[in-house]
Structure 1
Amino acid sequence: MSSTGPSVGSGGRTARRAVEFGRTYVVRPKGKHQATVVWLHGLGDNGSSWSQLLESLPLPNIKWICPTAPTQPISIFGGFPSTAWFDVGELSEDAPDDVEGLDASAAHVANLLSTEPDDIKLGVGGFSMGAATALYSATCFSTRKYGNGNQYPCNLSAVVGLSGWLPCSKTLSKKLEVDDAARRAASIPLLLCHGKRDDVVSYKFGEKSSQSLRSNGFQDVTFKSYNALGHYTIPEEMDEVCAWLRSKLGLDGTSS
């Protein structure tokens, strides 16, 4: 699937470029198929590494879809190409958001979920930049629109973000003024996990992201912190993800 995203050339001019998403890895459910979750890797990674970890989790009722981001020039790397869901110049609260890139990746996720059966619950999760894209997808679900105004088609039942942040947080309250957005925001469960020793995406970004979601009407937000955790994942964190998904998606006979 190809789409377009922005790139900043010399003198700060914005040029359009075609981006093509990489290979998608699928982990089939080992038990009854009750939910499908698209899981998004971090900057410079690919879908394969996460598919291997997700396959080992005790969640037999989930089908995991692990796409690979487009390879594109990344501003934080001085324009050097890397697999990335969107362009990022710096990790700061004042950094501009690459809405065009975010929209393209959120649309790719929605497209991957669009062929799932009607009775299957749908979710999005990710790590680092993948977590940011997952949280952005949650806001698109709430407003029923991408940042470009096009309609967002998916009904999401759960969103997970590990070691990430919430893009476009400053404009979120205005976006949620549309009809029924507040009800959808209140209905969707979100799990955010972050390590206090994260030296790539600062812990404060995860904490502030959860606060921003709550203050904008996302009522079912769980934020978990880990004192010794850096910018990676640990079994304790993945145990938390498993328990949360079982509960919120009503897997294995548990009620949501």
Structure 2
Amino acid sequence: MSLAGSSLSSGGKAALSFGRTYVVKPKGKHQATIVWLHGLGDNGTGWSSILETLPLPNIKWICPTAPQRPITLFGGFPSTAWFDVSELSENGKDDVEGLDATAAYVASLLATEPADIKLGVGGFSMGAATSLYSAACFVHGKYHNGEPYTTNLSAVVGLSGFLPCTSTLNQRIEGVENAATRAASLPIMLCHGKGDDVVPYNYGDKSAQRLVSVGFRDVTFKSYSSLGHYTVPEEMDEVCKWLTTKLGLHGN
């Protein structure tokens, strides 16, 4: 199943047109809904095909497609991307406007889910980075631009990704009412291959360490010795087991 794309403006910039969204309906009793975000240059259909095969009958998956936008790293050449990337570096400038716009779009996809359904966000590579940014917004209770973040997340998964805005993460948690409690209780799973030649393994490792250092207490980090910048059945099997446990999924 797919839904037509929609538009969302970011700051004073022109509206971004999000692409087609693919929905994988639960095969059993609907207990959780997870928005899953693809990597740079990809779209929602490939991951929806993978997620449909997983033994998770109680999860509804929503797989949107990122807007086409000029990518600074590519000299302005357009690509499907959740935010702009200036350089593949730990010191690269974060596109907070783009991150805010995508996090808000993800929240809008979850906004119409029934009240008794647990909500989550996950993704691969750039999609993983966006998922972790959404986790930070949930803990802070607001986006970077100050607008309130009202989605109640129950799980976050990031494969082969990295944590954006690391330098401001701690100060945005300190002094915010209930932020420490939300950080401590939100389950996060990160997976990364030691053979990743696109997003280096140490980015994932340091991201997990940074999350723990600022108060995220339920962080699981899985490493894979020969895994490159892609997924394998072993990794997805562990994601399935983790989601089943953390979301309390049961029955068919």
How do residues 36-47 of structure 1 correspond to structure 2 at under 5 angstroms?
A: 36-47=33-44
Deviation, structure 1 residue 179: 1.0
Structure 1 stretches (4+) deviating beyond 6 angstroms? none
Deviation, structure 1 residue 191: 0.1
Aligned pairs, number: 245
Q: SS state of the match for residue 9, structure 2? A: strand
Name the counterpart of 2:81.
Answer: 84
Deviation, structure 1 residue 32: 0.3
Q: Which amino acid aligns with 2:146?
A: G
Match of residue 148, structure 1, among 145, 159, 169: 145
Q: For the residues of structure 1 that align with 2:172 and 2:101, how far apart are their CA atoms?
A: 18
Is contact 1:40-1:127 (8 Å) kept?
yes
| Unaligned 5+ runs, structure 1 | 7-14
Match of residue 72, structure 2, among 42, 67, 75: 75
Q: SS state of the match for residue 251, structure 1? A: coil
Q: Are 1:51 and 2:56 counterparts?
A: no
Match of residue 3, structure 1, among 2, 5, 8: 8
Q: Are 1:102 and 2:99 counterparts?
A: yes
- TM-score w.r.t. length of structure 1: 0.94
Name the counterpart of 2:154.
Answer: 157
How do residues 1-256 of structure 1 correspond to structure 2 at under 5 angstroms?
A: 1-5=6-10, 16-177=13-174, 178-252=176-250
Deviations 1:30-59 (A, max 9, x none): 000000000000000000000000000000
Q: For the residues of structure 1 that align with 2:21 and 2:170, how far apart are their CA atoms?
A: 34
Deviation, structure 1 residue 18: 2.2
Deviations 1:79-128 (A, max 9, x none): 00000000001111111100000000000000000000000000000000
Deviation, structure 1 residue 3: 2.1
Is contact 1:127-1:162 (8 Å) kept?
yes
Q: For the residues of structure 2 that align with 1:163 and 1:243, how far apart are their CA atoms?
A: 18
* Alignment RMSD (CA, Å): 1.0
Q: For the residues of structure 1 that align with 2:77 and 2:152, how far apart are their CA atoms?
A: 36
Is contact 1:75-1:87 (8 Å) kept?
yes
Deviation, structure 1 residue 207: 0.3
Name the counterpart of 2:3.
Answer: none
Is contact 1:4-1:101 (8 Å) kept?
no
Q: Which amino acid aligns with 1:175?
A: R
Q: For the residues of structure 1 that align with 2:69 and 2:38, how far apart are their CA atoms?
A: 15
Q: SS state of the match for residue 223, structure 2? A: strand
Q: For the residues of structure 2 that align with 1:155 and 1:5, how far apart are their CA atoms?
A: 22
* Percent identity (aligned): 71
Is contact 1:4-1:19 (8 Å) kept?
yes
Deviation, structure 1 residue 17: 2.9
Q: Which amino acid aligns with 2:244?
A: R
Deviations 1:8-41 (A, max 9, x none): xxxxxxx823211101000000000000000000
Q: For the residues of structure 2 that align with 1:124 and 1:160, how far apart are their CA atoms?
A: 7
Deviation, structure 1 residue 153: 1.1
| Unaligned 5+ runs, structure 2 | 1-5
Q: SS state of the match for residue 241, structure 1? A: helix
Deviations 1:212-232 (A, max 9, x none): 000000000000000000000
